[in-house]
Amino acid sequence: MDPVTESSNDIVEIESKWYFAICLAIAALIGIFTWNNPPSPNLLGIEVLATILILFLFGSIRYRIDKNAITYGALPIIFVTFFPLWWPQSQLREEMSREGGAALWRAIRENLLSIDGLEKLIHGDTMLFILGLTFFVSVISQTRLLEAVSMNLLRIFEGRVLATVLTIAGLVSFASGILDGVSMIGLTIRVLVIILVMARIRHEGIEFIIMISVILTTVCGMWLAYGEPPNLIMKSNLSLPDTFFLKYALPMAVVTFLIVSQFISGWLKGAMIPLDELDVLEKNIADVRFHQAARKGEVKEIEDMFKEYAGRFGEKKAAVDALYHEGHHPISAMIRAKVDEETVNAFIGDFLGEAFVAPVKSYYHHRKQRGSPGERELELREAGVIERLLEDTRVQRNAAQRWGKLAFIPFLGLLFWHARNHDVPLFISSIAAFSFALLGILAHTKMRKLALREATHEYKEYLFLFPLFLSITMLTAVGFFDQLKAAIERGVDLLGPAHVAVIQFLGSGLLSAVLDNNVVADFASRAIHGMPDMFLFAAAQIAGYAAGGSLTHIGSAQSVVAFAYILRYVDPSFTPLGWIKAMWRLVVIISIALIVILYIKALLVGSVPG
């Protein structure tokens, strides 16, 4: 069988079994040559680094390998190198020589069958917390809470786009410190795009604000540990208290938000959305999306549906596209372009259901003629019919949102308990919140399945991390990080802690621009454990991987989500170089500001040489 498969978008998928076969062959060779002659721990470090670089390489070029295959395939190579380094001096070997199988069973029970043991090996408690958080946020998203809040803000600010977007940005920044930033960015982008399209902002502005959402959910969201997986990894590795994040990361998050606000203002200053010009489906976007999820178990993006039906527009396609890009709702654009009635009916029925076909079509016909006598009254009458059809949906949505809001009580309460007593597992807070929020959509079978399906798909993106975390634990066990720690200590003696902190900031930023920031956080934090200036160095690394992860389209999970959205819905020709060109100035300004804060923090804690 051909080891590669050509996909429709010119990506060549390399079959995982061939990669696994190569990895097993390499593992066998290493085992043969090193079993009686253990290698240097540096070889283990090279293997882990090579795995990370392969992840980057075969996730960026035309030839692709599944990232789970890369990390799980590399694990035999890393283990075969690790075992002869670790086993001869291991405590387990001594215990087994005295106690036999009882010692082995005790080691398995302590390390593989307990949360504390799994936390040390693969960040088990942290990853279970992220699992619950992913499902919790997925359920909250189905209640359309963010859409409802956004439309209410738009009304409060009387259609002023800048005030609305900045308030949403502030709420997202705050929420990203507590909730999963990866989930938050998906919700944020969709809501912001709705507002930006209604305000008729240019495509370049929409693209840039989508990219800014990455900074809102990473750098601005780093003020607390619980929202970002890399922050949780740092907290676990270094036993950082929550007060550390409030003292060190919160000021950097606030300053970053102020800088981002200035860039947003440049695009949105003076932009207005005349609220009386919004059509009835835009005004009730939260109910429309809740209705779609409950009815069909999916929320179809209107742009996707528009593309699906484009082939049925015939010679009217150019006119429909032109009207749509002028800001008309797709249904309005089809009616104004005089697309055949069968296609319009099918579109509305697919989008909302058969009961909506007549009133929606009539509404947009009257809206088209609103300048004529009596048409405005007829338009309002049909709008009322549509809103009455959505009334049951609104009641159900409000009930689901109440359950979602109440779910924050056990979530925050158990987080606080964990912060006071670390014997309480972290993951029970997110699992409890998910279970509570799920009650709000339990009666909506299709919506419930949608939430679980989306959460499962999202969490699968984290599975490749487990072998990497285990590999870094192996590096720790053989003393690899002692060498890095010694290098940092020499740097401190030579340059002083403040300058070394800035070097760590820059190094973490550059690494996170091209590598997964979860791995960067786990790897880099191991070398500073127990140091006198550990808090300062930890703050530098956190700020570095948050800022650096925003610079490229692959620097963080949020960047990947945002880049994919731009390609799909805004500009199919958008390139990774275009991302860097758009973001470099903002990232540089943020980086300079964060470096200044690091020096100030170093001065305050006495880490600047006199």
pLDDT score, position 7: 43
Proportion of the chain above pLDDT 70, given as a percent: 97
Task: Give the SS3 label for residue 549.
Answer: coil
The more confidently predicted of residues 11 and 203 is 203
The pLDDT tens digits of the residues spanning 513-556 come to 887 788 888 888 888 988 989 999 999 999 999 999 899 888 88
Q: What pLDDT is attached to residue 610? A: 41
Three-class SS state of 160: strand
Q: Which pLDDT band holds residue 1 (cuts at 50, 70, 90)? A: very low
Q: What is the pLDDT of residue 45?
A: 86
Q: Which segments within 449-521 are labelled E, that is strand?
A: none
Please give the average per-residue pLDDT across 255-263, as a whole number. Answer: 97
pLDDT for 555: 82
pLDDT reading at 2 higher than 60: no
Report the pLDDT value the prediction gives residue 325, as an integer from 0 to 100. 74
Residues 190-241 pLDDT 10s: 889 889 988 888 889 999 999 999 999 999 999 998 888 888 889 988 989 8
Is 608 a residue whose pLDDT tops 80? no
Which of the pair, 590 or 198, is modelled with greater confidence?
Answer: 590
Whether residue 6 is predicted with pLDDT greater than 70 in this model: the reply is no
133-169 pLDDT tens trace: 889 989 998 999 888 888 899 999 999 999 999 999 9
pLDDT at 61: 67
Instruction: Say yes or no to pLDDT of 9 above 70.
Output: no
82, HSE (Cβ side, Cα atoms, 13 Å): 21
Averaged pLDDT of the chain: 88
pLDDT of res. 609: 46
Please give the backbone phi and psi of residue 532, each rounded to the nearest 5 degrees, phi first. -60, -35
Residue (of 247, 258, 191, 193) closest to 224 by Cα position: 247
User: Domain limits of the chain?
Assistant: 1-113, 126-275+437-460, 285-389
What pLDDT score was predicted for residue 8? 42
Asked if residue 10 has pLDDT above 80, the reply is no
In tens, the pLDDT along 339-375 reads 888 998 999 999 899 999 999 999 988 888 876 777 8
Local structure of 327: helix, strand or coil: coil
For 123-279, where are the alpha helices, taking DSSP H only? 124-142, 145-156, 161-176, 181-198, 203-217, 229-238, 242-244, 250-268
Q: Which residues pair with 5 in a beta bridge?
A: 13
Q: Is a pLDDT exceeding 90 seen at residue 572?
A: no
314: left (phi > 0), else alpha (psi -120 to 50), else beta?
Answer: left
Tokens for 333, please give them.
């654009």
pLDDT band at 31 (very low <50, low <70, confident <90, very high): confident
Tell me: pLDDT of 402 over 60: yes
For residue 447, which of 490, 492, 397, 412 has the smallest C-alpha distance?
A: 397
How many other β-carbons are positioned within 10 Å of the β-carbon of residue 574? 17
Say which residues have a Cβ less than 8 Å from residue 454's Cβ, sequence separation at least 6. Answer: 138, 141
Q: What is the CA radius of gyration of the chain?
A: 27
Tokens linked to 429: 């807070």
Question: Given pLDDT bands bounded at 50, 70 and 90, which one contains residue 60?
Answer: low
- Percent of the chain with pLDDT strictly greater than 90: 40
Segment 247-251 shows an average pLDDT of 94
Distance of CA 46 to the CA centre of its chain: 29
Q: Are 336 and 370 in contact (CB under 8 A)?
A: no
When pLDDT is averaged across residues 24-40 and rounded to a whole number, the result is 85
Type and span of the H or E element at 14: strand 12-14
5: CB partners within 8 A, 6+ apart: 12, 13, 15
Token pair of 599, please? 């020096």
Q: What are the DSSP E strand ranges found in 496-575?
A: none
pLDDT band (50, 70, 90) for residue 5: very low
Lowest mean pLDDT among 167-171, 329-333, 598-602: 329-333
For the beta carbon of residue 174, count every other beta carbon within 10 angstroms: 18
Residues 6+ apart with CB under 8 A from 43: 81
Q: Give 550: exposed, middle or buried? Use CB within 10 Å, 0-12, 13-18, 19+.
A: buried
| 298, 281 contact by CB (below 8 A) | no
- Classified as helix, coil or strand, 5 is strand
Place of tokens 């249904």: 331
Of 55-59, 168-172, 430-434, the least confident: 55-59
pLDDT at residue 14 in the model: 82
Q: Which residues contact 353 (CB under 8 A, 6 or more apart)?
A: 291, 295
Helix or strand run (H / E) with residue 365? helix 357-368
In the Cβ-directed half-sphere of 562, how many Cα atoms lie within 13 Å? 35
CB of 389 closer than 8 Å to CB of 377 = no
Beta bridge partners of 14: 4
How many residues are given for the chain? 610
Least reliable range by pLDDT among 269-273, 275-279, 595-599: 275-279
- Looking at residue 47, its amino acid is E
User: Mean pLDDT across the stretch 326-333?
Assistant: 81
More confident site: 269 or 329: 269
Q: Which residues, including other chains, have CB under 8 Å from residue 158's CB and lie 6 or more apart? A: 275
